[in-house]
Structure 1
Amino acid sequence: MFRRGEAAEGEEPDYRFTLANERTFLAWIRTSLALVAGAVAVLHLVPLDWRAELKLVVGLALTALAVIITIYAPVRWVRVQRAMRLGRPLPMSALPVITTIGIAIVCVAVLLGNYWR
């Protein structure tokens, strides 16, 4: 993920910070995996008395959110690692906001599913 010579740039950060960055990355990947499991459950496993269109919207929304997180998590990991190596402030991440908005949309769809038949 680093360009040539970039990994050697700057100073090696404290290993605890590197491992914390890796744990954060893995937490995002676990979140993504949980969203995929939720999508499978909504679409195929849980017998919901919802309209088929709404089940599809919720399942696709969960899957789309999982894909966004899976793509953005390694990008965030690299940006944070690079900032630590160069002694710069850590970059802000849009991932928590994206996840919050996505989950809020899914929650609204689930509420609609329970009341709109």
Structure 2
Amino acid sequence: MTWRPKSFRLGADPDPRFTLANERTFLAWIRTALGTVAAAVGFEAFGADVVGAGVRSTVVVFLLVGAIFLAVGAFRRWCTVEGALRLGKGLPVPTVAVLATGLVVGTSLTLLVVAATR
């Protein structure tokens, strides 16, 4: 027996196209999280010439923590959407999109302040 989230055991199997679309969306969020990790690694490696160590560490930690939350949020959303599809309910609000927006805005504002005060 393979492990399946609780939401995958409820209701009826949805049209496979919807399940596959849900999976593609999940993978897009995972790519976003991986891109955020790559940005953190790049900023750690090459950001010393741009900002001081304190700001660099703050931005890198912010990006890495954000990537963790994006990956976890992507999985939770995948399960929640699958459950909604199986039960014929409306799709949930994409709260992970708010997190991604906050991550980009927070990082951009931090770097904008650093650039403006240089």
Q: What TM-score, normalized by structure 2, do the two folds share?
A: 0.88
For the Cα contact (< 8 Å) 2:30–2:70, is it kept in 1?
yes
Q: CA deviation at 1:46?
A: 4.5
Instruction: Number of aligned residue pairs: give it.
Output: 115
* Runs of 4+ with deviation above 6 angstroms: none
The equivalent residue for 2:75 is 74
Is the counterpart of residue 23 in structure 1 residue 24 in structure 2? yes
Structure 2 unaligned blocks of 5 or more? none
Aligned counterparts of 1:77 and 1:113: Cα–Cα separation in 2: 37
Instruction: Supply the distance in 1 between the matched residues of 2:116 and 2:10 (Cα, whole angstroms).
Output: 57
The aligned counterpart of 2:5 is 2
State the partner residue of 1:114. 115
Once the two structures are superposed, the pairs formed by residues 1-117 of structure 1 within 5 Å of their partners are: 1-3=4-6, 7-117=8-118
Provide structure 1 residue ranges, at least 5 long, that are not aligned to the other structure.
none
- 1:41–1:7 Cα change, 3 Å: closer
Q: Is the Cα contact below 8 Å between 1:39 and 1:59 reproduced in 2?
A: yes
Q: Which has the higher helix share?
A: 2
State percent identity of aligned pairs. Answer: 37
Matched residue type, 1:52: A
Shift of the alpha carbon at 1:43? 0.8
CA distance in 2, matches of 1:66, 1:8: 29
Q: CA deviation digits over 1:22-56, x for unaligned, max 9? A: 00000000000000000001111355331111111
RMSD of aligned C-alpha atoms?
A: 1.6
Distance in 2, matches of 1:77 and 1:108, equals: 30
What is the TM-score normalised by the length of structure 1?
Answer: 0.89
